[in-house]
Amino acid sequence: MSKIASDHLARQAFVYVRQSTQDQVQHNHESRRRQYGLADRARRLGWAEPEVIDDDLGRSGGGVARPGFERLLVAICEGRVGIVLAVEASRLARNGRDWHTLLEFCGLVGCLLADEDGLYDPRLPNDRLLLGMKGTMSEMELSILRQRSLEALRQKARRGELFLTVAVGYVKVRHDRIALDPDQRVRAALKLAFDRFAEFQSIRQVHLWLRQEGVLMPAVETGPDGRRIVWKPPVYKTIHNLMTNPIYGGAYAFGRTASRVTVEQGRKRVSRGHRRDREDWDVLIVDHHEGYVSWAEFERNQRLIADNANSLGLMARGAVRRGDALLAGLLRCGHCGRRLHVYYSGKDGFCVRYGCRGAAINHGTGPCISFGGLRVDAGVAAETLRLLSPLGIAAALEAVERRDEDAAALRRQAELALTQARYEADLARRQYDAVDPANRLVAAELERRWNDCLAAARRLEDSLAERMESSAATLSQTERGDLLTLGADLPRAWDHPGVTAEARKRILRAVIEEIVVTLAEGRIDLVIHWKGGDHTRLCTPRNRTGQHRWSSDAETGDMIRALARQQPDGGIAATLNRLGRRTGRDNPWTEARVRSFRSTHGVPVHKNGEMAERGELTLEQAARRLGVSTMSVLRMISSGLVAAAQVCKGAPWAIPEGQIAALEGQPMAARRPRTQNPDQGSLDFQ
């Protein structure tokens, strides 16, 4: 008895086509033809226009979301499907959930299932049992095949012979070995990037330098013609992958990333590419092949990259960033062990402070320590320069050599790019020469490609000529002598206007591991831990209230205190300006600034009649009392006849009133200053 009834034929036949991977879609054509051929079988069974669902080509049947399978289930539930055809049960599902859901829905609506072996009705017990066994075997088959293939891959990886892909800069020499790319341009570009990282110690700085110099980086593209190298302007991710891939350190690594399985909306979702810690890698074989850097240098680069991770907060010291704080990321609190934060204040952010706020942020307690950064930065910089001074001349000579090497490396890149461009132009010419000139449809396109290659070669020739011209301008003897002089005098080079704060920070980070800071009464204690393992102890005074780099000098402060007993604020400002005195911020004195100084330092304001209360007269008051001119009083003071005091040149004279009162009762001749010449006589007029 046939299982196909008129009710089934009244509905539509669906043919489900699926291949598990994109590789199968591209290469396993016969399997796909077999599945599409099921439509002819549906016609032979009595269905006129079967519908083919092939939305899931390249999708796994192990439980991930499949839009084609979902569409099939919807059609079954709507009662539009009379039969579902598939090559075998594994094409419909490779997991129990999807398979038994399909069987349940087909049994409810009376939908048939068919494969190459037979025709099944899920409502019949024997057919349901057979279909259940087919689904279980399909699921078990997938698990066994997957386990065998993965174990075979791991076994091959343990020997260092598994290469699913090959990184740029390497090529396969056998099925189980790789070697450096024979293309000189590729090798030179990668070597240049590693050299710049050794100098800049920052991936971002390397990326910006390559962009600024117009250096193109190689990338691998896989197409119908296989693997080929293309040249592109570098992006940050390219440089980051280059610096963090252990293959460039001569090591073989397998299992650097892992997959994660989650359940979303009732479906399995697999996300790949999650990085794993090095101790979790499946295989790591050092000195497996020739690297672009040594393994020791590769590990040092990884430590630098980890330290440059600003997103880790106080767990890492971070990369060199903008700002005047020279010791950012190097200071550690000697009281709680946390790294110190940097704070900028002031109108232009020139005021730098270091503070430990880890406990306040994490536990809500008060801040640990805080101090100004000016004296600490200066003290650490001076100690560093003292230790590096013997190496100054050698560093200057190395800078000259490095400049020449950089120019040579850039010139080499331009030369290699030009060589490749000329080859491509010659190849385009030979392709053009090989075509029949009468075939204009092909010849015109080949001629256009040839012209494009010639134009690209011409641009590279002009670029190389510019580089040759710029590199020909070597340092003159005067410039070389100036550079060596700066090398011999490192403090002068350190304070040179052309040296940026970023350059100073890199110098400090090159020699300092970290600095432990503790605060004591009136001082800051520092322990500098150098890269080589030695340490140095420093002590700098702490800032006190009113004592900072913008405060006025002590002599000017003493003048203001003394003048405040003789003059109002406006007069004090005029006196200080005549003397050329300036404020701590190098501004002229004004009445408001004098008043602010007095208020800050607790100096009382001048009161009218204050000098009279102390029994002191001004120069003008003394002249009126004696009935003489002010110049006569000045001569009395200079001759010693009158004892007077003056805070500074240009300040008011303070003359004791008692001395003027004693002179008022004497004759005019007695008031005159005595001459030092013994022959000088006195005339008495009648």
- Positions marked active-site: 20
How does DSSP assign 187-214, residue by residue?
HHHHHHHHHHHHHH--HHHHHHHHHHHT
Read out DSSP for 60-99?
Answer: -SSSB--HHHHHHHHHHHTT-EEEEE-SSHHHH-SSHHHH
107 burial class (0-12, 13-18, 19+ CB within 10 angstroms)?
A: middle
Q: What is the 3-state secondary structure (H, E, C) of 100-118?
A: HHHHHHHHHHCCEEECCCC
Q: Measure CA 422 to chain center.
A: 38
Spatial contact of 417 and 410, defined as CB atoms under 8 Å apart: no
Please give the biggest Cα pair distance in the chain: 171
**Distance (Å, rounded) from C-alpha 196 to C-alpha 202?**
9
Cα–Cα–Cα angle for 503, 507, 508, rounded to 5 degrees: 120
Cα–Cα distance between 555 and 566 in angstroms, integer?
Answer: 17
Would you report the helix, strand and coil content of the chain in percent, each value rounded to 5? 50, 15, 35
Output DSSP code: residue 21.
S
In the β-sheet with 535-541, what is the strand arrangement from edge to edge?
331-333, 512-520, 523-530, 535-541
Cβ-based neighbours of 172, under 8 Å, separated by 6 or more: 163, 166, 178
Using DSSP, state whether 143 is helix, strand or coil: helix
DSSP string for residues in 510-573: HHEEEEEEEEETTEEEEEEEETTS-EEEEEEEPP-TT-STTSPPHHHHHHHHHHTTTS-HHHHH
Q: Checking DSSP bridges between strand 370-372 and strand 170-174, what pairing results, if any? A: unpaired
Cβ neighbors of 44 (< 8 A, separation 6 or more) are none
Instruction: Reduce the DSSP state of residue 649 to 3 states and report it.
Output: coil
| Cα distance between residue 503 and residue 109, in whole Å | 77
Does residue 57 contact residue 17 with C-beta atoms inside 8 Å? yes
Comparing CA positions, the residue from 66, 129, 145, 139 lying closest to residue 99 is 139
- Distance (Å) of CA 478 to CA 82, 393, 474, 483, 499: 95, 16, 11, 9, 20
Q: Quote the CA–CA distance of 259 and 40 in Å, as a whole number.
A: 40
Instruction: Tell me the CA distances in angstroms from 654 to 201, 555, 563, 566, one per residue in order.
Output: 67, 20, 11, 8
Q: Is 545 exposed, middle or buried (0-12, 13-18, 19+ CB in 10 A)?
A: exposed
* Close Cβ partners of 13 (under 8 Å, ≥ 6 residues apart): 42, 45, 47, 50, 51, 81, 82, 83, 84, 85
Contacts made by residues 384-391, CB under 8 angstroms, sequence distance 24+: 384/507, 384/508, 384/511, 384/512, 385/490, 385/491, 385/494, 387/511, 388/490, 388/507, 388/511, 389/490
Question: Which residue's entry shows tokens 């962009």?
Answer: 211
Which pairing describes strands 331-333 and 283-285: parallel, antiparallel, or unpaired? unpaired
Close Cβ partners of 270 (under 8 Å, ≥ 6 residues apart): 64, 259, 260, 261
SS3 497: coil
